[in-house]
Amino acid sequence: MTSELLDRALVEEATKKSGLVWVGGPGGPVRALWHVWHEGAACLVGDGPGEQPLPGLADGSVAEVTVRSKDKGGRLVSWTADVVQLAPGSEAWEATVAELKGKRLNAPDGEAMPERWARECRVLRLEPTGARTALPDGSLAQPPLLTTATTREPPPPGLPHLLRRGRRDRKGRKDRKSL
């Protein structure tokens, strides 16, 4: 019983303090998602224009949530969650949207955001099931996908001159070459 309470407290405190969690649903990729901890669950909004995608997260499914440390950015705790989609206009939806609205950065529509979310987005609650997942011993990092994209090209001919312009010598005088 004590271990279960400690696990629940760890999940809640870690998730509250981290503004970003990695969430993976059945059949969907693991994605970094912003969230708000509200009434015992991580709450998300997405799948609409200008909002984060929520692939693989469907009402009634199970998701795996990994929380990062706010200080170091590494994995802190992983937990299993039941996905619950809130119905627009319901009391739970209104309370959750009020919390999400306060944390949403750079919203294109400001005060009209809840109406847009009701029309075009999904609001989800990720409710902890009480099952904490053991952290892996090794890294889960994957190599980047192969691509033909490159960024290495020779510098333009005038760039070295532009970079030298305005430099000062050790005594604080302007470089005579740039005058």
CATH number, domain of 100, equals 2.30.110.10
Number of domains forming the structure of the chain: 1
For residue 53, is it within any domain?
yes
pLDDT, tens digit, 9 for 90 and up, residues 55-114: 889 999 999 999 988 888 788 899 999 999 999 999 999 999 999 998 888 888 888 999
Q: What range defines the domain where residue 84 resides?
A: 2-133
CA distances 49 to 9, 45, 71, 119, Å, are 35, 11, 31, 11
Closest C-alpha among 24, 79, 87 to residue 54? 24
Q: Is the pLDDT of residue 27 over 90?
A: no
